[in-house]
Structure 1
Amino acid sequence: MAVGGFCRLPTGSVVVALNLPTAVDGTGCVRVLVHAQNRARALTRLRNLGMRAVYLRGNASPPTPDEITAVLHHPDGLIWRTAPDDGVPVLSQELWHPIRALRRRPAAPA
């Protein structure tokens, strides 16, 4: 199950944040942020990208103000970066990537 949360903005839209396991090795996580009109549309955007088993239950790990700013300033409104396995967001120096970069991410060498 993905750890995540959401934040409703003054405009009525929402930012949804999810920590998802990586498909490559299953040991790492990525933090995905989605900006949409509502939670259902945010999850639909992810499902349309092939992430079929994405659900948001609860609000255990809502987006931080910095994460909200990052996703609002991205033209697609859909970004990601690596996240720690324990689900606790930490400040890192890694930049946010567009979702296209996640889908094209090369497999780890065997």
Structure 2
Amino acid sequence: MAVGGFCRLPSGSVVVALNLPSPTVDGTGCVRVLVHAQNRARALTRLRNLGMRAVYLRGNASPPTPDEITAVLHHPDGLIWRTAPDDGVPALSQELWHPIRALRRRPAAPA
């Protein structure tokens, strides 16, 4: 189950933030994915078109922070990710945001 939320911008578009299970082989940990789109349905469709079929947004439990909104608005694709913290609280010294293509090409953990 994905925890997430959204924020409507003054322009009418939205930023959707989702914490999803990590796509690594062992499946431990989570990634935080941010999507900028015209509405929530289009944001989720963008993720589903990338192969994340079981992505749903129920409620607004974990909306994007102002820093996250700034990060996704300044990315040309409007679709970024980074490893989510274990406790769910954003840390100031977290890793940088990555384009979504980097998540799809992540090397599998050695067997």
TM-score by length of 1: 0.95
Give CA deviations for 1:2-61 in whole Å, capped at 9, x if unaligned: 000000000000000000001422211000000000000000000000000000000000
What secondary structure is seen at the aligned counterpart in 1 of 2:36? strand
Runs of 4+ off more than 4 Å: none
**Residue matched to 2:29:** 28
RMSD: 1.1
- Whether the 8 Å CA contact 1:61–1:88 is kept in 2: the answer is no
Q: Which moved more, 1:53-62 or 1:81-90?
A: 81-90
Q: Which runs of 5+ in 1 are unaligned?
A: none
- Percent of matched pairs sharing the same residue: 96
Give 1:80 deviation, angstroms.
0.2
Within 2, Cα distance between the matches of 1:87 and 1:55? 19
Within 1, Cα distance between the matches of 2:94 and 2:76? 21
Within 2, Cα distance between the matches of 1:14 and 1:95? 22
Aligned length, in residue pairs: 110
- With over 3 angstroms needed to count, the CA separation of the structure-2 counterparts of 1:93 and 1:87, relative to structure 1, is closer
**Residue matched to 2:8:** 8
Q: Which moved more, 1:100-109 or 1:77-86?
A: 77-86
Give 1:88 deviation, angstroms.
3.2
Give 1:68 deviation, angstroms.
0.2
Q: Which runs of 5+ in 2 are unaligned?
A: none
Within 2, Cα distance between the matches of 1:18 and 1:93? 17
Give 1:97 deviation, angstroms.
0.2
Give 1:105 deviation, angstroms.
0.3
